[in-house]
Structure 1
Amino acid sequence: MPFAQVISSSGMLTLMTLLALRPPRPRRTTPFTFSFFLTFLINEQPFLALYALAAGALPPLLAGETGTLSWWLGAGTAAGTAAGLLVLAVRARTARPRLTTALRQALGPQAVAPRDSRGLWSIVRLLVLPLISYRFDVRRVANLRYGDAGRGHLLDVYVPRAGTANAPVLVYLHGGAFRMGSKMIGARPLLYRLAGRGWVCVSANYRLGGRLDYADRLADVRQVIRWVRDSGAAYGADPSAVFLAGGSAGAHLAATAALTASAAPGQPDGEEAGPPVAGAIGFYGYYGQADAGADSTPLAHLHPDAPPFLVVHGTLDTLVLVEDARHFASEVGRVSTQPVVYAELPGTQHNFDFFPSLRFHAVTDAVEDFAAWVRATDAAGPTHLDTAPARREDDPGRHP
């Protein structure tokens, strides 16, 4: 019976597709939902799911007797699933116009650089090698020690094989609700891409577990930045051009470290300062309280001299609600005199930086544009903008 065979081989894929199209929305931000577990991969890799669907559904359909009720039910199920996956692929293409609009609104019409023909090759690569981030022109220097806390104080450096000099630096901090995660998880397509374009990229572990408080993890991040300033020149880094980035809990740490940088003259008296950074980048970030401490949220450290921010979040994030990220970006933009680029990506789940995808390819372009604007502005002298991020019509301006 083709229908039974199609369901047995592809039924889970059909369920995952339906959930990815419209996942159940939790009432509040939460560290885990079952729908997230089932959908975050297929949402970024619908073409990979199409390959799996074809492998599971086509053999019983081709071997079955055409025209029977069972055959039509099986064919209809496979066709409906394929149509849903194509909708996911088309929906991913909406990320680029949203990012372009956000960049131009916050930074000006010239903030988005024209893209060359390499973009077409990147799309072809996504179709042929959908899970591969590795690039032959990039070298990863693994497990360098920046402190004495064992695996919690290790980092990897990604550099061009041909070498680089006076290069901007991206420091990436992984997510994992402050309890799990690794420097090998998250943003690897971004790290390889920027390193291939001449950057020095750092992906760092930090101490995890329930026996530590937020201040310990924040101290680790500051120690990573100091390592870059002290040792980065050996890899071609420009220590004055450090961008902090992170996903989920890593975005929380990146934001707080950027807001408490010593270069900020408006920092509150008595607040511990970290090394200065050029800009902060948050993907699907959690920005609420990390522990019982009142200052364990970046919202407690807002001031007018904050560095520029790029905040990217998905409208269908089922772990960190988009309203929370929108509120954070709005508050930073309200207080800071520097621009805040805030982009909500339609149909986007948590962990959208884990794999190469059409969506994350556009996000990576936006990171390059954002960093280029910041560096050009720094070279021209400090520029303070009395603007806030564009507010959506449905933005309540407060926590949901």
Structure 2
Amino acid sequence: MPIGYIITILIIGVCTFTALIRVTRFGILAFYLTMVINEIPHLAALLLVFSTVLALSEGDLHGLLGSVLLIVAGLEFVGLLELTRRATRARSVVASTAADHGVQISNDAAQSWIRPLVVPVPLRPGAVKRIGRLPYGDHPRQRLDVYRHRNGDLFGPILVYFHGGGYSSGSNRNEGRVLLHRLAVQGWTCISATYRLRPDAGFTDHLDDARTVLRWARDNSEIHGGDVTRIVMAGSSAGAHMTAMTALAPPSSAEAVPRIAAAVCLYPWIGRYFGRGEDESQPSTPLALDPSTAPPIFIAHGDHDSWVPVEEARALYDHIRTGSPNTTWYVELPGAQHAFDALFSWRNAAIVDGIVAFLEPSAMPMN
């Protein structure tokens, strides 16, 4: 009995089937089963073909059991082709959103198609240097990385990015790296920060850390570069929650917190903070904040996100666009799961191209 082959197609099959459907229960388990295969289904298909050829060459697929396993493998291959189709559709969806705002996205074949096909890992480009683990506070979690072009003469805006993790986990070197690298190559100063986590820290602590990082970016611009009049805040999941809360907060004085020029929210969670109800004294959901002073905002979410339902992103988009005088982009990615920005996938490459187009001065003037 080909035990190794059976284990291989069992794992691929469970992950593929779970990725194909929209899971509404056991969402966290579904996320861990599908996050990788959903972004690189072509590599899973290659593994499936290789394993099948190997099993055939060793004579392991004879008889009724072998026929059944071949049929199962064939069905899995078709499922992986469907996942690949959904992943590659992201570019047309992003391009359509950009076109609705009169903007075209980049379509560099090497970066948009070939790189995700061959090397879907977010390796840092040689032109970009990372200055790591800089403290912005006394707590061990109050650390940040700065990404800059090695050519110090390049001068561009500043991006401040916050990772996800439900405010209880996460690292600033997991998600968002493709975006950080891309903007740094273009001359931006990019900052990726960690922050204090629950249960040791609470909601006001998270927001205080975000504001401190924004002030740090402004106060250290002479050292690390960047145009302090064009600071963009971005985040994934909980980091997007923090970003939305900051973007929709009432303006403060420049001495207190720099006003962000734009915001990027990737698969945002928008609920009330853990343990809070409708009677909370300080709002902890962006839906409770007035969007009339919000800067331009880019929102992206997957319609197969099993951790944070896509309805949350739709609600955030509707809330902002009905009250904000500035442009709001919303991209809903077919088949995308949570954390789609962790790998250099076709889907992530398309989203990054969309964000870059959104941040172009011609598309979104930043004051």
* Structure 2 length-normalised TM: 0.92
Deviation at 1:233, TM superposition (A): 3.2
Deviation at 1:322, TM superposition (A): 0.9
The answer for the alignment partner of 2:268 in structure 1 is 285
The answer as to 2:341 corresponding to 1:349 is no
Deviation at 1:304, TM superposition (A): 1.3
2-structure distance, mates of 1:341, 1:326: 11
The answer for the alignment partner of 2:131 in structure 1 is 141
Deviation at 1:352, TM superposition (A): 0.5
Contact 2:88-2:346 within 8 A present in 1 as well: yes
Question: Which of 249, 252, 261 matches 2:238?
Answer: 249
Contact 1:48-1:130 within 8 A present in 2 as well: no
The answer for the alignment partner of 2:147 in structure 1 is 158
The answer for the alignment partner of 1:232 in structure 2 is 221
Deviation at 1:375, TM superposition (A): 7.1
The answer for the alignment partner of 2:211 in structure 1 is 222
Question: Which of 190, 193, 211 matches 1:204?
Answer: 193
Partner secondary structure for residue 220 of structure 2: helix
Question: Which of 157, 160, 165 matches 1:171?
Answer: 160
Deviation at 1:114, TM superposition (A): 4.6
Question: Which of 103, 127, 138 matches 2:117?
Answer: 127
Q: Residues 38-65 of structure 1: CA distance to partner in whole angstroms, max 9, x if unpaired?
A: 0011101112322332343321122117
Task: Give the alignment of 1:175-186 within 5 angstroms.
Answer: 175-186=164-175
Unaligned runs of 5+ in 2: none
1-structure distance, mates of 2:111, 2:162: 28
- Cα 1:305–1:104 shift into 2, 3 Å: farther
1-structure distance, mates of 2:124, 2:240: 23
The answer as to 2:263 corresponding to 1:275 is no
Contact 1:99-1:363 within 8 A present in 2 as well: yes
Contact 1:332-1:340 within 8 A present in 2 as well: yes
Partner secondary structure for residue 157 of structure 2: strand
Contact 1:141-1:157 within 8 A present in 2 as well: yes
The answer for the alignment partner of 1:71 in structure 2 is 66
More displaced, 256-265 or 216-225? 256-265
Deviation at 1:377, TM superposition (A): 2.2
The answer for the alignment partner of 1:195 in structure 2 is 184
2-structure distance, mates of 1:378, 1:185: 28
Partner secondary structure for residue 133 of structure 2: strand
- Cα 1:60–1:166 shift into 2, 3 Å: same
Unaligned runs of 5+ in 1: 266-271, 380-400
1-structure distance, mates of 2:28, 2:340: 16
Q: Residues 151-180 of structure 1: CA distance to partner in whole angstroms, max 9, x if unpaired?
A: x11000111122343311111100011111
Contact 1:168-1:238 within 8 A present in 2 as well: yes
Deviation at 1:229, TM superposition (A): 0.6
Deviation at 1:75, TM superposition (A): 2.2
Deviation at 1:378, TM superposition (A): 3.4
Q: Residues 186-219 of structure 1: CA distance to partner in whole angstroms, max 9, x if unpaired?
A: 1111111221222211110010021322111101
* Structure 1 length-normalised TM: 0.84
The answer as to 2:52 corresponding to 1:57 is yes
> What letter is aligned with 1:58?
V
Contact 1:156-1:203 within 8 A present in 2 as well: yes
The answer for the alignment partner of 1:13 in structure 2 is 12
Task: Give the alignment of 1:286-325 within 5 angstroms.
Answer: 286-291=269-274, 292=276, 293=280, 294-325=282-313
More displaced, 242-251 or 195-204? 195-204
2-structure distance, mates of 1:214, 1:374: 36
- Cα 1:65–1:95 shift into 2, 3 Å: closer
2-structure distance, mates of 1:113, 1:33: 33
Contact 1:25-1:318 within 8 A present in 2 as well: yes
The answer for the alignment partner of 1:22 in structure 2 is 21
* CA-based RMSD: 2.3
The answer as to 2:111 corresponding to 1:112 is no
Contact 2:95-2:105 within 8 A present in 1 as well: no
Number of residues of Structure 1 aligned to a counterpart in Structure 2: 362
Task: Give the alignment of 1:85-96 within 5 angstroms.
Answer: 85-96=80-91
> What letter is aligned with 2:211?
R
1-structure distance, mates of 2:143, 2:362: 28
